[in-house]
A and B are shown apart, each in its own frame.
Chain A
Amino acid sequence: MEQKRIYLDNAASTQVAPEVVEAMLPYFTEHCAVASSQFSHTPGIMVKEALDRARAVIAARIGAKPEEFIFTSGGTEASNLAIKGAAYANRKKGNHIITSKIEQLSVLQPCRSLEKEGFSVTYLNVDREGFVDPDELKRAIRPETILVTIQTVNQEVGTIQNIKELGRICRERGVLFHTDAELALGWLPFDVEEANIDLASFSGHKLHGPKGIGGLFVREGVKLKRLLDGGYNEFELRAGTENVPGAVGFAKAVELFKPEDSQYVQELRDYLIEGLLQIEDAELNGPRGERRHPGNVNISFAFAEGESIVLHLDMKGIAVITGSACFSRALEPSHVLLAMGYSHERAHSSIRYTLSRYNTREELDRTVEATREVVEQLRRISPLKQERRRGGR
């Protein structure tokens, strides 16, 4: 019997909302002009207006002025521009950057590149639930510190940092504060004023918008060195023809995403956590409640290896991912779980389920049942279980 596939990898990417597709279509066909043609012809002006409307919608959602939000090709480009752009523009002030050990690669890799160019980077530890200690941030700031970049939401375990506090510390010390907010936009209340944010990265496809579009909030007065040279687009911070259909779709996705959606997904999340924790020797990774992303569930199933769980679940039509080394191209277990102080073994047996408003309880019931079957099957063939039981973990 062919059952409908269940997609639970929404922290990687989400289904584009049908209304978003609808909104984008005219910008592939009838509105084909480039936005920078505003001084030449009517089609150009119409496109420019559409782009500005999209910009205004997203800016309003994050408490920014429209001219403080620029479109990029996605979250990775936004974080690269924020981190490298701020580092290069402030080189004379200092060469020290602070980040955390659990960032996405789109933040960690730009930091590593800058290290090779002579910048110095401090990677802050996190606690068992994935939180950065604000006091540790205070202690890490030095006179030559120019930038702090700490994510709002963790991609693997859903930890929501206390960015208001982190932002306040940076503001007090006169250091720029960037946050990777890809998983926050739409999902959580997010206000750049309230959290004293100077730079924030966003991505369209994490909230039912299209891929290939993202954005960067750049507080008025914050200097960046641009990375892409060319025309005068995006307040001269990002050259290149604007992805107008993408921008329109991104804004539509932001408009569509309601607090009720987050509430609904959060209820699904807690329902799934409760169901999965009924499985023997299952442990939740990351915090509970309001400090966890509404769509994130991450659980380790002791004595069963993650890649095998994922493959078996895939055969049953359920798409999830694991923090096991076997799943990664680098053959390293999840850097996030290790930084949280969990063992390699626990990382290898971790499974991430990330939800969206398109999921249903019925799907989650099937997911819990399928996971239970797979985990029990793998434990039956595992040499570990009987032996470990005596020893404890």
Chain B
Amino acid sequence: MPLPYSEKVLEHFMHPRNIGRLEDPDATATMGNPACGDMIKIYLKVDGQEKRITDIKFESYGCASNIATGSIVTELAKGKTLEEAKKIGWKEADAELGGLPPVKVHCAVLAVDALHMAIENYEHQHGLLKEKVPTDEKVVLKRLKHVINPKTGREILQANLVKAVAVDSGRVRVELALPPDYQFAKALEEEIRERLEPLWDVEQVEVAFVGES
């Protein structure tokens, strides 16, 4: 078939492994954004004793590469310890799939980043961090790095939409320079919460829309 994809990519696209959601997951992470046309959410079930991934599933909004890399990355991670799974890189995923077209390699990066982020979130929530860095403005901004405005497709940080960040004893407040009735207000709030709530010392996240209509 004269498509730019390997047989293996197409096979995983047509029949993705580990697809769906886990009820009651131990950790999750979402990467990407529908505005970019690619989004993946990873669900982890972890054996707390062995620190081993006992089950993993993913959901995808995206192109064939996105679905195929989600499939292969979850296959690679299943059964591995957290430390082993952290070492899975996009090159490994890409090689397993027989090579993605160069313009689609970012899909492999996205899937692997989601896996790593899910593991990091697990560590935050289960006291496994080697170094407990207290959440401050810098940490918050780092976590918000890839949050994208679905309307424009631009990162909210780059577009200067984050007006202020305040952290005070477990409470984080993020102010966005968008009106409360903004078309994608709810979606942006959800995404920001998902980025910040897993942090080990964060108890409450408030997203305020302070722009004018």
Contacts and interface: CB of A to CB of B under 8 A. Distances in A.
Nearest to A328: B103
A344 B153 contact: yes
Nearest to B34: A345
Given A333-B153, A381-B16, A308 B35 contact: no
Given A381-B59, A383-B40, A383-B41, A331 B103 contact: yes
A329 B191 CA distance: 29
Contacts of A343: 35, 150-151, 183-184
B36 A305 contact: no
Contacts of A327: 63
Contacts of A324: 37, 63
A308 B187 contact: no
A90 B40 CA distance: 53
Interface string B18-43: 01110000000010001111111100
A383 B59 contact: yes
Provide the main secondary structure of the chain B interface.
mixed
Contact of B13 (A311, A387, A392): A311
A308 B190 contact: no
Nearest to B37: A348
Contact of B190 (A331, A378, A380, A391): A391
Nearest to A381: B19
A325 interface: yes
Given A333-B153, A345-B150, A391-B190, A381 B34 contact: no
A348 B63 CA distance: 10
B99 interface: no
Interface string B167-206: 0000000000000000111110010000000000000000
A345 B66 CA distance: 16
B39 A390 contact: no
A344 B37 CA distance: 8
Interface in B126-163: 150-153
Interface residues of A, number: 33
B13 A382 contact: no
A383 B60 CA distance: 6
A381 B39 CA distance: 11
A344 B61 CA distance: 14
B36 A325 contact: yes
Interface string B46-86: 00000000000001111111110000000000000000000
A326 interface: yes
Given A345-B34, A378-B61, 19 more contacts: A305-B38, A305-B62, A306-B37, A308-B63, A308-B64, A314-B3, A315-B14, A324-B63, A326-B37, A326-B62, A343-B150, A344-B152, A381-B20, A381-B59, A382-B61, A383-B30, A391-B184, A391-B186, A391-B187
Contacts of A325: 36-37
Provide the main secondary structure of the chain A interface.
helix
A131 interface: no
Given A343-B150, A391-B186, A381 B36 contact: no
Contact of A388 (B20, B37, B60, B187): B187
Interface residues of B, number: 38
B36 A308 contact: no
30 contacts: A305-B38, A307-B63, A308-B13, A308-B62, A308-B63, A311-B3, A311-B13, A312-B14, A315-B14, A325-B36, A325-B37, A326-B65, A331-B103, A333-B153, A343-B183, A344-B150, A344-B151, A344-B153, A345-B150, A378-B61, A381-B60, A381-B67, A383-B61, A384-B34, A384-B39, A384-B61, A387-B187, A387-B190, A391-B186, A393-B184
A303 interface: yes
Contacts of B21: 383
Contacts of B104: 326
A326 B63 contact: yes
A348 B34 CA distance: 8
A381 B184 CA distance: 22
Contact of B59 (A307, A382, A391, A392): A382
Contacts of B38: 305, 326
**Top 5 closest pairs, chain A to chain B, by CB:** A391-B186, A326-B63, A383-B41, A383-B59, A307-B63
A374 to B, nearest CB: 11
Contacts of B40: 383
A245 to B, nearest CB: 27
Contacts of A387: 187, 190
Interface in A364-393: 378, 380-384, 387-388, 390-393
Contacts of B35: 343-345, 348
Among B34, B36, B152, residue most surrounded by chain A Cβ atoms (within 10 Å): B34
Nearest to B40: A383
